Amino acid sequence: MSRVFPDTLKIRDQFPIFRERPDLIFLDSASTTQKLGKAIDVITSFYTKENTNVGRSLSTLDVIAQRKIARIREQASVHIGAPTPESIFFSFGASHSMRGVTNMFFEQLLQDGDEILVSPSDHQSYVQPWYEVAAVYAALGKRVKIVELIVSKNGQIDWADLKSKVTARTRLVNLTHIHNVYGNASEILYNSEKIAFLKSRNIIIQVDGAQSLSKAVIDVEGMGIDVLHTSGHKAFAAQGVGVVFLRPTLFSNPGRLFEGTPHVAGIYSLGAFFDFAAEIGMAQIEAVVEEVTKYTYEGMRSIPSVVFTTGIAQCGCNSGNGILSFTLSGASSVEVGQYLNQHTIYVRSGTHCNFDPINIGDSVRVSVHAYTSKQDIDTYLDVLHTFSNAL
């Protein structure tokens, strides 16, 4: 345990909460990330100096806002490898866009008899809307079949199972880039042959990128992604905003999904994130997250009562992408979380909002990011070890 986290302090210094709360050990970054100082600054500046309802006039303030948003749309396009800035939209968060895009499929693309492939281990807000659409179709005397995919013990979608369930009526497959409990990155998205198989059958690839925008390189073209949902508050930016990528040829008038007054300050905070990511480099951020994750994992392995759930311990992957879920023999996840909370260590306990909580199971989720320090992890490990020994 002698390794030093590369560049962590340089990154950590850009988050004011760690100066204001030096006692804070925040290990819940999969739930939400802490906020960049520059993100906080642009939000404050907008409301104190430039507040306007963008797109509703030709005033100077409105023109300034439109230009800034256009620039941030270009930044988002570059960040995820989108073909054009026009394929980028700003939502009110991943859950909002997931439900909205599902409704657009219902209105424009789905036909009687179509089939949708989903993983029941994914986030509820990603899976549940498809079952609701299927229920509406059933009420109309039509049928949309929701086909559940098998997830292997290593947390990956079973490819053989997926291939066997593809039919001439398969319209779309739901994939998750980085799983919010397992921490696994979808191996399908990194396999050109598997992407080619799906594309050859005209299957739309929709991806939940809520966990990955701020800690993994995304390439929508290389990964064959047609729809991508992301979350700003998991990327050091404001709550209630997200970036959505929609393949330009997919829908007619997709902007209708995002009508109304946009979260301008939130979009500005996304711009601060994109500036930060460009300055540090996503490959560097990804490397730091990997280093912190491995260090945490190795330390937890030395505690005999720790039982890891699906993730880095089972998959043999190089990185858990900042997420480690576990149970502690002799204590519930809530008891573990409460004990850590007494020592100002914040984690997440429960089933973590997944569609199939029974199979996901109850666990403690420790989630780190590039601002997590070695001291944070050492203190966490000491406290967890003390609690384990007392059981």
Same domain, 119 and 83: yes
Same domain, 152 and 70: yes
What total number of domains does the chain contain?
Answer: 2
Q: For the residues 321-350, what does the mean pLDDT come to? A: 96
Q: What is the CATH number of the domain that holds 303?
A: 3.90.1150.10
Q: Which of 67, 387, 94 is nearest to 213 (CA)?
A: 94
Cα–Cα distance measured from residue 364 to residue 384, given in angstroms and rounded to the nearest whole number? 12
Q: Which of 234, 260, 279 is the last residue of a domain?
A: 279
Quick check: is 33 in a domain? no
Same domain, 296 and 273: no
Quick check: is 34 in a domain? no
Quick check: is 22 in a domain? yes
pLDDT at 356 over 90: no
| pLDDT at site 294 | 93
Same domain, 144 and 271: yes
Same domain, 232 and 375: no
Q: What is the CATH number of the domain that holds 187?
A: 3.40.640.10
Lowest mean pLDDT segment, chosen from 206-210, 253-257, 262-266:
253-257
Label residue 374 by pLDDT band (50, 70, 90).
Answer: very high
Q: Which of 279, 294, 328 is the last residue of a domain?
A: 279
Lowest mean pLDDT segment, chosen from 105-109, 190-194, 272-276:
105-109
Quick check: is 126 in a domain? yes
Same domain, 54 and 20: no
Q: Other C-beta atoms within 10 Å of 202: how many?
A: 9
- Tokens representing 42? 């642009």
Cα–Cα distance measured from residue 375 to residue 382, given in angstroms and rounded to the nearest whole number? 11
Print the domain residue range for 304: 8-27+282-390
Label residue 153 by pLDDT band (50, 70, 90).
Answer: confident
Lowest mean pLDDT segment, chosen from 47-51, 220-224, 283-287:
283-287
Quick check: is 78 in a domain? yes
Same domain, 252 and 227: yes
Same domain, 362 and 322: yes
pLDDT at 279 over 70: yes
Same domain, 147 and 187: yes
Q: Is 143 helix (H, G, I), strand (E, B) or coil?
A: coil
The rounded percent of the chain whose pLDDT value lies above 90 is 86
Query: Is-contact 145 177, C-beta < 8 A?
Result: no
Quick check: is 374 in a domain? yes
Quick check: is 384 in a domain? yes
The whole-chain average pLDDT of the chain stands at: 93
Same domain, 354 and 258: no
pLDDT at 325 over 70: yes
Each residue of 107-138: b (16+ CB within 10 Å) or e? eeebeeebbbbbbbbbbbbbbbbbeebbeebe
| pLDDT at site 1 | 40
Q: Which of 389, 385, 377 is nearest to 1 (CA)?
A: 377
Lowest mean pLDDT segment, chosen from 1-10, 215-224, 237-246, 361-370:
1-10
Same domain, 212 and 287: no
Q: Is 233 helix (H, G, I), strand (E, B) or coil?
A: helix
**What does DSSP assign to residue 119?**
-
Same domain, 102 and 73: yes
pLDDT at 315 over 80: no
The stretches of the chain forming alpha helices (DSSP H) are: 8-12, 17-20, 37-45, 60-80, 94-104, 124-139, 159-165, 192-200, 264-280, 282-301, 312-315, 333-342, 357-360, 374-390
Q: Which of 249, 279, 309 is the last residue of a domain?
A: 279
Quick check: is 1 in a domain? no
